[in-house]
Amino acid sequence: MYEKIKNITSLIQSKIPKDFKPQIGIVMGSGLGQLANAITPIATIPYSQIEGFPVSTVEGHHGQFIIGTIKGKNIIAMQGRVHFYEGYDIQDVVMPIRVMAMMGIENLFVSNAAGGVNLEFEVGDIMLITDQINLIPNPLLGPNDDRLSPRFLPMWNAFNVKLREIALNVARKQNVELKQGVYLGSTGPTFETKAEYDYFRVIGADTCGMSTTPEVIAAHAMGVKIIGFSLVTNATKSGNVATDHAEVQSIGQAKAKILSNLIEQIINELD
């Protein structure tokens, strides 16, 4: 796996200027691909052009890296990701994250469309992720490669406290209401039953979805600072726990602009 990550990193580096080093990685979740509009691009690399790279089979999940700048900072963004439910090995699911870490990113922004488990949450809410519960297989399972992670990784405060403070300040300035809470990642692809939603609430989740948590583990293992956002696309409060993929997509699009502005401004505040 390490060799594969290294080869893919070299391939991407061969397609961008030699002196371009990304400081920030961004993972755009379902329907949030329009965050890409904030990027001044230098190169776009479809995943399909990268040999051995996992390509999403899900509608609405574009698959490409966009490399460029936001507010003068060098970034590499993933427009689309693959999910464990698509049948990929968990090592492949997090491989793009490890590639970005190997390219030298210091900060990683993750985002997802998620179900609102917290009874106070409404459709369209944006939640700053303070912590996570991973119910998807752990990407660090198996023989350990010290170059990718320590054998035992502390996950306390995996979502960087300083980055979260910056996000809260920016949201206050922009008059954006930012909820805070715990994201739970489960495998999907089924949306939850009512009983499962109740269960997630009891164990401490505020939002739930089918991605992100393994990526956070893999990035944290490589020393990357992480900040994450959930966009609530369906909520218990509205009596709308059951959802469908089209609904997730359309709400993502309507709110992505607000989240995009927020992320742009947070990037602007980074050193």
Question: What is the binding site for ligand HPA (CB under 6 A)?
Answer: 113-115, 188, 191-192, 208-210, 233-234, 243, 248
Based on the residue annotation, tell me whether 106 is a catalytic residue of this protein. Answer: no
In the complex, minimum distance from the CB of residue 65 to ligand HPA, in angstroms, rounded to a whole number: 23
Given the complex with ligand HPA, which of 219 and 241 has the nearer CB atom?
241
Catalytic residue among 28, 210, 218, 235: 210
- Which residue, 135 or 153, has its beta carbon nearer to ligand HPA? 135
Rounded Cα gap, residues 93 and 34, in angstroms: 22
Q: Residue 86 CB, nearest distance to ligand HPA (Å)? A: 14
Residue 61 falls in the annotated catalytic set? yes
Distance of closest approach, residue 233 Cβ to ligand HPA, in angstroms:
5
**List 100, 113, 221, 256, catalytic entry:** 113
Q: Under the phi-then-psi rule, with left for phi > 0, alpha for psi from -120 to 50, and beta for the rest, what region is 212?
A: left
Tokens encoding 8: 């893919």
Q: Contact, 264 vs 145, CB < 8 A?
A: no
197 is catalytic: no
234 assigned to active site? yes
| Catalytic-residue membership of 222 | no
User: How many residues are present in the chain?
Assistant: 271
The yes-or-no answer on residue 83 being catalytic is yes
Cβ proximity to ligand HPA, 207 vs 265, nearer residue: 207
238 is catalytic: no
Assess whether 30 carries a catalytic annotation: yes
Q: Which is nearer to ligand HPA, 53 or 191 (CB)?
A: 191
- Closer residue to ligand HPA, CB minimum distance, 161 or 246: 246
Residue number of the CB closest to ligand HPA reads 115
Please confirm, yes or no, whether 210 is among the known catalytic residues. yes
Instruction: Look at the block and give the residue holding tokens 């796996």.
Output: 1
35-46 exposure pattern, b = at least 16 Cβ within 10 A, e = fewer = bbebbeebebbe
Q: Which of 86, 103, 127, 220 is catalytic?
A: 86
Give the active site residue among 1, 155, 245, 247.
245
Inter-residue contact 35 to 28 (CB < 8 Å) = yes
Q: Specify the amino acid at residue 37.
A: N
CB nearer to ligand HPA: give 134 or 234. 234
Q: How far is the CB of 177 from ligand HPA (least distance, A)?
A: 19
Q: Which residue's entry shows tokens 């089209």? A: 246
Characterize 145-169 residue by residue with b for buried, 16 or more Cβ atoms within 10 angstroms of its Cβ, and e for exposed: eeebbeeeeeeeebbbeebbebbee
In the set 1, 85, 199, 240, the catalytic residue is 85
E strand segments, the chain: 24-28, 40-46, 64-70, 73-79, 107-116, 126-135, 178-186, 207-209, 225-235
**Which residues are identified as catalytic?**
30, 61, 83, 85-86, 113, 210-211, 234, 245
